[in-house]
Chain A
Amino acid sequence: MTITPADRQAIFTRRNLFGATAAGLAATSLGACATSGGDDEADEVTVGDDAENPFGVDGSAPLDVVIFDGGFGQEYAVAHQAMYNEAFPDAEITSLATQQIGETQQPRFAEGKPADVLDNSGASQLPMDSLVSDGELAELTPLLDAPSYDDPEVTVGDTLREGVLKAGTFNGKVYALNYVFNAWTIWYDAKLFRDQGWTPPTTWDEMIALCPTIQAAGIAPWTYAGQHPVYLYDMYLMLAGRHGGVQVLKDIDNLVADAWSNPSLVAAAEALRNLGDSGYLLSGSAGIDHIQSQTAFNNNEAAFLPCGSWLPNEQKAIAPEGFEYAPMGVPYLEGSVQPGLISAGGDEPFVVPKNATNLAGAYEYLRIMLSQEGSQIFSDAVSAATIVKGVELENETARMTDALVQNPEDMFQPQFRYWYKKMDDEMRPALGQLINAETTAQEFLDRMQSVADEVAADDTIEKFTHED
């Protein structure tokens, strides 16, 4: 918004002071700061023949990268940028590493001047569903179709692990590159189990049978980050999905009528409720955050903790001597038809805004990230795997996780959490109440069914479905 000299003239005569101010406000508010950005036609990027520079990057064009400075830090991004500069020495790279993705980037989108590459992650990430339905993101198809950095005969898309693009796919179109490979698992201390002579349970009944033994050792069987029930999502959903097969979970995401009354969801809800009801949760769990729950886990105050693959890396500096982080799939219920099902795939969504100034550069930057070298840089820096195939895993925990995700058929990431914010907002508190036995399984399912019905009936919400 600018005040022109003419406005100033009109406003600052005494008689017109009020009138002109009011008029000025009315006029400026119609085209004022937050909502006045121009809507430029976005450029299209096509894949050319040059394998070295398939997107036709202008080597002198600056590149604007925004990195979420969370658990993975920004060290790896600096190295990726060095690789980009090696290829394009004249390109000036602006890099911002921040935890405030939403606070810093939302105004830029509103202005129509977003970054070129954005790591849209963390607690204040911009909601993917509205970015997609607002048409603010560029499709990543050109990137996936381009020749890969290391081998021009293979496309970038073919260098990736199977199924990792699902998380960034909205109605069949890939809008986000979830760069980090993550699995949601149940964690235990392998050393503790060895010392106590406990066998890590594979079935729910084994787990329940083990709980009194664990308690007898003065340890609570379970804890979780009660203030963030999101940590229970995949424990509950995989428990149900293993029991009834992945279709149960796809039906939820696809907003199929009565999806929540599936018997497998009922069984899983009752199992989860039973945990809290039997007193198998560490006392006070509902009132603690993820740091406290992980600390309690590190101190062997609780035997099992649901968390993602980043846990060992996150605890690296504070893990007690001898603690062995070991992941396992959620113990499955009796009669499970797909006991290997696991919530695994890409995480840490990198997006390219449609109005990015240097669209070609952004694609090229992602292509560099997905090269063997770029992927190795990431793995070395944070000891977590990327979605690129064939990178050596040195870490024991990473290998154990890898063993859990061998079958691509069994990999599935429930999506309603990302697709429908409204369902997410309902699911979190509902899960928290369920595991603490504050509601019945039926009340929980009714609640989720009614919000699913609401979302399905709301025409203003853009709907997404799984392809298969």
Chain B
Amino acid sequence: MKHGRYPFILSFLALPVGLYAWLVILPFAQAFQISLTDWSGSTNTFNYIGFDNYANLFKDDRLVIPALQHTGIILVVLPVVTIALGLFFAFMLNLGGRSRQGRIEGVRGSRFHKIVFFFPQVLSVAIIGILWKQVYAPENFGGLITGALTAVGLPAPANGFLADKRFVLAAVIGVLVWSAVGFYLVFFSSAMASIPRDLYEAGIIDGAGRFQMFFKITLPLLWDSVQTAWIYLSIVALDVFVLVYMMTPERGGPDAASEVVGGVIWKYAFNDGEQAFASAIGVVLFFAALTLAVVSLRFGPRERIEY
């Protein structure tokens, strides 16, 4: 039967692979092609101009350079903060409580907390953007945080957080963390559930505190999950666009203080009529993402601990 097997398999693969090639690989390949032209996006004529777009890319200190810096910052801060918070909350909810009769449990009401933390995950990004835009609004216009700060006598930016160059990027990252942490809390919780309790009980008998239990037992055994979370969050970080588009003044402002790479690609492609330049940024982003994925997978696997 071996003879007929491949056509059989291929006949199943043809459609998905064909669609994938047509809808994913081909547009990618075309972005490379377009990035070598001067195509504006709204004409069917263009010239090949070599690597000029790439050369100009790193001279653009109005949009591209700030965007690369901001995306870089998000790439570092978002995974670190989200994973740290996710792990902390998951630990507290699963193992952080008082041990009663030798049993280790989470803090009181942990199931309720889990659900509440997960809420942002079920909201669409657009809703999150609108919601937080209001939360960050100027005090005069019903901003929650600015209002709360003033109420307790602390200084708050008069024009709200999003119109202030110093705070806007942090404000966007804050929303990203807020909306992601619930998912990673649940993600890490389920991973923690598979760690045998006797390890902790042994730890307690040996006099380990919560702090030691976390760093000596939980974290090493969760390393695979942390790594997965890291890759996911890095992809999210490279992809930040909708929130910036929804929340910030001039979609990346004020004065480019919250520009991210995705947003700059959109601006060049659809606002400025420089589709080719946008494609060049896209290609750079593609290679950045690829490098990131390769690096994290290469340096990833530690020795697996069987338990």
A residues apposed to B, CB below 8 Å: 1, 3, 12, 14, 21, 24-26, 28-30, 32-39, 102-103, 105-106, 109-112, 124, 126-127, 129-131, 133-136, 226-229, 282-289, 292, 296, 421-422, 425-426, 428-430, 432-433, 436, 460
Contact = CB atoms under 8 A, between A and B. Distances in A.
Nearest to B63: A425
7 A-B pairs with the lowest CB-CB distances in the bound complex, closest first: A284-B138, A130-B273, A287-B163, A287-B160, A429-B255, A227-B249, A37-B44
Given A28-B26, A29-B26, A124 B270 contact: yes
Name, among A109, A229, A284, A287, the residue most crowded by chain B CB atoms within 10 Å (CB to CB). Answer: A287
B177 interface: no
B250 A226 contact: no
B274 to A, nearest CB: 8
A243 to B, nearest CB: 26
B94 interface: no
A134 B43 contact: yes
B62 A426 contact: yes
Contacts of B274: 130
B254 A35 contact: no
Contacts of B44: 35-39, 109-112
Contacts of B272: 127, 130, 421, 425
Given A39-B45, A288-B141, A429-B250, 20 more contacts: A3-B22, A32-B33, A35-B34, A110-B43, A111-B44, A127-B273, A130-B40, A133-B40, A135-B43, A227-B163, A282-B140, A284-B139, A287-B143, A422-B62, A426-B62, A429-B254, A432-B249, A432-B253, A432-B255, A436-B159
A33 B30 CA distance: 9
Contacts of A131: 42-43, 273
Contact of A228 (B10, B137, B249): B249
Contacts, number: 156
A39 to B, nearest CB: 6
Contacts of B37: 35
B18 interface: yes
Contact of A32 (B18, B30, B159): B30
B140 A284 contact: yes
20 contacts: A3-B22, A12-B14, A29-B29, A30-B33, A33-B30, A34-B34, A35-B33, A105-B42, A106-B41, A130-B274, A227-B249, A284-B138, A284-B141, A284-B143, A284-B158, A285-B138, A287-B164, A288-B138, A425-B63, A429-B255
Interface string B88-132: 000000000000000000000000000000000000000000000
A55 to B, nearest CB: 25
Interface in B230-257: 249-250, 253-256
A124 B41 CA distance: 14
A14 B62 contact: no
B159 A284 contact: yes
A29 B139 contact: no
B39 interface: yes
A102 B270 contact: yes
Nearest to A421: B272
Given A39-B45, A226-B249, A287-B160, A32 B14 contact: no
B287 interface: no
Contact of B159 (A21, A33, A226, A228): A226
Given A134-B42, A284-B138, A425 B270 contact: no
Contacts of A103: 270
B293 interface: no
Interface of B: 6, 10, 14, 18, 21-22, 25-26, 29-30, 32-34, 37-46, 62-63, 137-141, 143, 158-160, 162-164, 249-250, 253-256, 270-274
B163 A127 contact: no
Nearest to A38: B44
Contact of A127 (B33, B38, B138, B271): B271
Contacts of A432: 249, 253-255
B250 A428 contact: yes
A285 B163 CA distance: 9
A134 B33 contact: no
A111 B14 CA distance: 28
B255 A286 contact: no
Contacts of A29: 26, 29-30, 32-33
B255 A12 contact: no
Contact of B141 (A14, A228, A292, A460): A292
A449 to B, nearest CB: 15
A428 B10 CA distance: 56
Nearest to B45: A39
Contacts of A425: 62-63, 272
B176 to A, nearest CB: 20
Given A30-B33, A106-B41, A429-B250, A1 B159 contact: no
A134 B45 contact: yes
Given A131-B273, A226-B163, A284-B138, A429 B256 contact: yes
B249 A110 contact: no
B163 A25 contact: no
B157 to A, nearest CB: 8
Nearest to B6: A14
Name, among B6, B43, B140, the residue most crowded by chain A CB atoms within 10 Å (CB to CB). Answer: B43
Name, among B14, B272, B274, the residue most crowded by chain A CB atoms within 10 Å (CB to CB). Answer: B272
Contact of B42 (A12, A109, A422): A109
A12 B46 contact: no
B26 A32 contact: yes
A36 B26 CA distance: 14
A432 B256 CA distance: 12
A133 B45 CA distance: 12
A103 B273 CA distance: 12
Nearest to A29: B29
A383 to B, nearest CB: 29
B138 A35 contact: no
Contacts of B254: 286, 429, 432-433
